[in-house]
Amino acid sequence: MKLVWGNFTLDFSQKTCIMGILNITPDSFSDGGRFFDPASAIDRGIQMAEEGADVVDIGGESTRPGSEPLSVKEELRRTIPVIETLSREIDIPLSIDTYKSEVAKRALDAGASMVNDISGLRYDHAMPEVVAEYKVPVAIMHMKGTPKDMQKNPVYEALIPEIMDYLRGGIRLAMESGVSEDKVIIDPGIGFGKTFEHNLEIIHRLEEFTLLEKPILIGPSRKAFIGKVLGDLPPEDRFEGTAAVIAVSIMNGANIVRVHDVSEMSRVAKLADAIKRMRI
């Protein structure tokens, strides 16, 4: 499997790709505020490219549990200047992490070349058309509810089948709007409307998502279920737990891992790839 578009290629037959997280927010659950200043965000984006990121995923709105929606105007104010500068400074794809079509369009005009939509194309009906117009890859994620209420007792009758049906629906929405079938990525949505047990089950059964025949993105970095397993550790102490989940996810079929700690998780991914493929 490959993603090929514009001047970019992500070849999943060769390696697991690293997506670095760049939160330009004051309130994200793990690194909120660290890169809220544009200069700090730009420096961090350049650093992630130097550390081995294959993609930098730029988001201006926190979607942590309980978070409130952000205005389009403020999201644009936070993200566009950073995207404009980074697109000139580094030569890897920039992804815009948004569910708003106007933000996606402006970001793609500014130099982004991917869209990461946590709503799975459900929140803004114009989003699939924007992706199709720009001929870029899109990550379709599963989420139950909204960031504000998603962790209020999420219940499933059949977890994996329900997530897969939702992702199939997102794929259909993309195809019906003219998105190329080979530019769709799927993400089961770790931590988005999932209990502790649900997250563990998704990681354990991740290989089942290969039935959808799309690259699989997984984003467990520093999330609460890791802290719970390790004795209620705070986000800054979930490094080793994240590494373990990344390694298991790669063995179970992940093609892209979305992480905060790019340098270290690149090494984790390289070793997991070597074991899985039995070659360096």
pLDDT grade, residue 62 (50/70/90)? confident
- Amino acid 32: pLDDT: 57
The alpha carbon of residue 253 and the mean position of all alpha carbons in its chain are separated, in whole angstroms, by: 16
For residue 189, tell me if it sits in a domain: yes
- Catalytic sites, residue numbers: 223, 258
pLDDT of residue 31: 60
Q: Which residue do the tokens 């994200």 mark?
A: 28
The CATH number linked to 78 is: 3.20.20.20
Lowest mean pLDDT segment, chosen from 3-12, 24-33, 55-64, 70-79: 24-33
Interval 138-147: pLDDT, tens: 999 999 988 8
Residue 272's pLDDT band, with cuts at 50, 70 and 90, is very high
CB 62 within 8 A of CB 31: no
Residue 10 counted as domain residue: no
Residue 209, domain extent: 15-62+70-275
The answer to whether position 4 is within a domain reads no
pLDDT in tens, 189-245: 999 999 999 999 999 999 999 999 999 999 999 999 999 999 999 999 999 999 999
The whole-number pLDDT of residue 148 equals: 82
User: Is residue 74, in this structure, part of any structural domain at all?
Assistant: yes
What is the predicted pLDDT for the residue at 135? 98
How many structural domains is the chain composed of? 1
Within a domain: residue 1?
Answer: no
- Tell me the pTM: 0.95
